[in-house]
Chain A
Amino acid sequence: MISRFLLGVGLIGLMIVASFGTYTYLGGRQSKVAIVAQKPTAASPRPNAITLPGTLYLAQSGALYSFSFGRFHQLTAQDGWTQPSLYPNGADLLAVQRLYDHSDVFVLSRFGSPVEQWTTNKGGGLDTGSSHWSFYPRLSPDLSTLWMSYDSPKIGYDVPLSIWAVPAGNSVVHGKLWTNSIDYTGGDVEPIPLRTGGVMYTKYSRDDNGDLAGQLWLATRPSRPANGETLTTAGAEGQPLTGTDEDCAQPSISPDGSQVAMICTYQKQVSYLELASWDGSSLGPRREVITDQLVAQPTWAPDGSGIAYLAPGAGASGFQLWFLPKARYNPPTPSPITVPTPTPGGPYHGPAPKPTPAPPVVVPLVKPIQITTNAGFDATSPLAWAG
């Protein structure tokens, strides 16, 4: 028989283990909802071993990262960096540094070192309204003009973003106001300078019910050629490319210039990836490519092999990097059915044989590929993809 002393000691030990074990077990049963996103360079599990063409630039928690050859590299410190875009000469990047009460556009080297500051938006004095925001910088194909959203003009409580074109490297006072945003909507964002000289952008406006919605717009001439001239009415400088009912934004033009990828939310808490043909002045019929994810920032691969985008992933924290292969939205055309040639032979007087219907060609649905699992990228920061 076990001695009572040993039994007592054993039971106490068992109780301690059981109580601590239960506590620890319950702690371990917590869901992963509150998991903090990890740096893409340190994410565990490691990013899927997928190699995308070229180099992709993304933002997370105020730092810029590049993704090439299946690996992430941190380019800047976590210091408010966001919205990278490509410098068309291939040597540098444009990016926004967003601080507490203002943001500025910088030129960075491909390795993340600041080369030049292009805007100075920190205001002076006690008035919080004296500072400015610059967002979504893009450089024109000829490197001569910085396009960006900039919160001027603003009057009183109305702080709308407008599209500005500023000679590269110059102060915004030398810039041209290209769009006249609609009052109290948040304004005009995401400019894409076109080779034809105009600009595609997202304008926020109100529908017939007064609800706010995004619309892709095309502006072919500046709203105000130079500072000090009379403003035209909102939107007079261009034309809408999408309707307010579609609520579309974040346009991205394909490398061959024939298609536009965008997100459309239909004024709901959804976000569909849609494609439309683009002829330089209007969009063709929409094609919904992804409807079951909260898609953000679609960006075409420079070689046209697919579209990268950000969306939440299963069991992940925040927005992850996804890649949609071209085969999903542009499936290969099935090979033509070979018609059998008649075999030589004698005359046949019977009924003509009916051709057997060809079996339907089933194109397997290509699924998007989730590249990161717990990176939590900044979904308000467009991706930049260099070839």
Chain B
Amino acid sequence: MSLGIKPGRRARASRRRLSIVRTAALAIFAIGLSAMAGSLAYFLPAAKLAWDATGQVISLASPTPSPSSTASPSPTPAPLYQPGAFTVLLLGSDDDSKFQADHVLTQSMILVRVLPDTKQVIMLSIPRDLYVPFWTGGSGKIDGAYSYGQAGGAVATVERDFGVHVDEYIWIGLLGLVKLIDAIGGIDVVTSNPVLDDYYPQDIFSTFPYDYQRVAVLAGPQHLDGIHAMQYVRSRHNDLQSDIGRSKRQQQVLLAIRKKAKQVSSADVPSIANALGGEIKTSIGLDRVAQLIPLAASFDNPDAITSMVMLPPLWHGGGPGGSLTPSWGAINYFVHQYFPYG
């Protein structure tokens, strides 16, 4: 008033200024909200699929007394134990129409020890024909542990028979492997030899899953799509080491997937999750997955990745039904050099 401004005018001016501020704030809020809605729409399908696939609870049936708990203690302490290290059991199944969805065999079982401090990875393939006592009772080839007890049964069987602790598991079906590799645009892999098979199972994308087909994956560096990568890791007829040779090829493809996955960005997650839907299950929670992705990307030294398969004298042939008879003492001594006691 002393300045010659009438009170009503000042109030209107103040309201006008407030109105502009309010309008701007409202606009910013609306943009933020809309951006969140857009992000939500983009990631929601993936989040739902990821929610369904991750954080699976390992449920265990009551154990039946093992017919042969022969796992002998290892004389050597695990030298590669370090804080933050963890063990994952990778399970790969033929989940084609020959099997009921809940009773598939695991054609591939790989114990993976991850040592974040030294950025080391140790992979040990377990022969699928190894004759072992199951956690759920009875004995059989280890590929049946999943069939009788789902992932929990497989994990518990491995933990008890090998005397190791498994922190997490990842299960993937055949079609899941194909879809995963296709979703990341294929993999660059050095195939170790020509893999030719005149009696390869034609059970994917086929109306008659007991049929056969011819496959020929040539040798050398090459780019493989999902179908051909699966042919490479799955064929065993033309390999003198049969399942052992196949395990080596599976590890090569796993390393190629890991290498390619380093190029994947978070914006790729929805398309990958959409492609994988239902073909992958893991006990790893979403929050842990988020922690592990950058960790996996930091493992870039190929010499720090150790790939192993179990060979004689850890087992010998002639077990029931063409199975492999384990030498538990030797197996435990070998395994506990790389995997700490459970």
Which A residues lie at the B interface, using CB under 8 A?
1-2, 7, 10-11, 14-23, 25-36, 100-103, 128-129, 131, 133, 135, 151, 154, 157-161, 183-187, 189, 202, 204, 206, 210-214, 247, 249-250, 263, 265, 267-271, 294-296, 311-312, 317-319, 376, 378-380
Contact = CB atoms under 8 A, between A and B. Distances in A.
Contacts of A157: 197-199, 237-238
B201 to A, nearest CB: 11
Contact of B252 (A29, A210, A213, A269): A269
Which of B31, B213, B223 has the most C-beta atoms of chain A within 10 angstroms of its own C-beta?
B223
Interface string B181-197: 01111101110111111
Nearest to B195: A186
Contacts of B255: 269
B222 A131 contact: no
A212 B265 contact: no
A14 B196 CA distance: 60
B42 interface: yes
Contact of B213 (A19, A128, A186, A263): A128
Given A23-B42, A183-B240, A269-B189, 7 more contacts: A19-B37, A19-B41, A26-B43, A26-B267, A32-B263, A100-B214, A210-B240
A36 B319 CA distance: 48
Interface string B214-240: 101011111100000000000001111
Interface string B168-187: 00000000000000111110
B16 A1 contact: yes
A364 B218 CA distance: 37
A129 B197 CA distance: 9
23 contacts: A10-B27, A15-B31, A18-B35, A19-B38, A26-B42, A31-B263, A33-B185, A159-B237, A186-B219, A187-B194, A189-B194, A189-B218, A189-B219, A210-B240, A211-B248, A213-B192, A270-B190, A294-B190, A318-B188, A319-B221, A319-B222, A376-B223, A380-B219
A39 to B, nearest CB: 16
B292 interface: no
Contact of A22 (B39, B198, B252): B39
A31 B260 CA distance: 11
A243 to B, nearest CB: 15
A268 B189 CA distance: 10
Interface string B18-41: 010001001100110111111101
B302 A380 contact: no
Contact of A30 (B30, B38, B271): B271
Given A101-B214, A294-B221, A319-B222, A1 B19 contact: yes
B193 A22 contact: no
B188 A294 contact: yes
Nearest to A11: B30
A379 B265 contact: no
Interface centre among A11, A20, A128 (most CB of B within 10 A): A128
B190 A271 contact: yes
B302 A154 contact: no
A2 B216 contact: no
A206 B162 CA distance: 30
Nearest to A101: B214
B312 to A, nearest CB: 10
Closest 10 CB pairs of A and B: A22-B38, A186-B194, A18-B34, A184-B240, A29-B267, A34-B185, A157-B237, A129-B198, A19-B38, A19-B34
Nearest to B202: A128
A7 B206 CA distance: 59
A188 to B, nearest CB: 9
A131 B197 CA distance: 12
Interface in B117-167: none
B196 A133 contact: yes
Given A14-B30, A22-B39, A317-B185, A29 B265 contact: yes
Contact of B260 (A26, A33, A249, A267): A33
B188 A160 contact: no
B212 interface: yes
Nearest to B191: A380
Interface of B: 15-16, 19, 23, 26-27, 30-31, 33-39, 41-43, 182-186, 188-190, 192-199, 212-214, 216, 218-223, 237-241, 245, 248, 252, 255-256, 260, 263-268, 271, 302, 311
B104 to A, nearest CB: 24
A128 B220 contact: no
Contact of B220 (A25, A161, A296, A376): A296
B289 to A, nearest CB: 18
Contacts of A189: 194, 218-219
B263 A269 contact: no
A135 B218 contact: yes
Nearest to A15: B34
B222 A380 contact: yes
A34 B260 contact: no
Nearest to B252: A269
A229 to B, nearest CB: 24
Contacts of B222: 296, 319, 378-380
A29 B256 CA distance: 23
A101 B305 CA distance: 37
Contacts of A210: 240-241, 311
A294 B192 CA distance: 14
A38 to B, nearest CB: 13
A2 B19 CA distance: 9
Contact of B214 (A102, A158, A184, A204): A102
B239 A34 contact: no
A291 B220 CA distance: 15
A386 to B, nearest CB: 23
B302 A269 contact: yes
A161 B195 CA distance: 10
Contact of B268 (A19, A31, A250, A317): A31
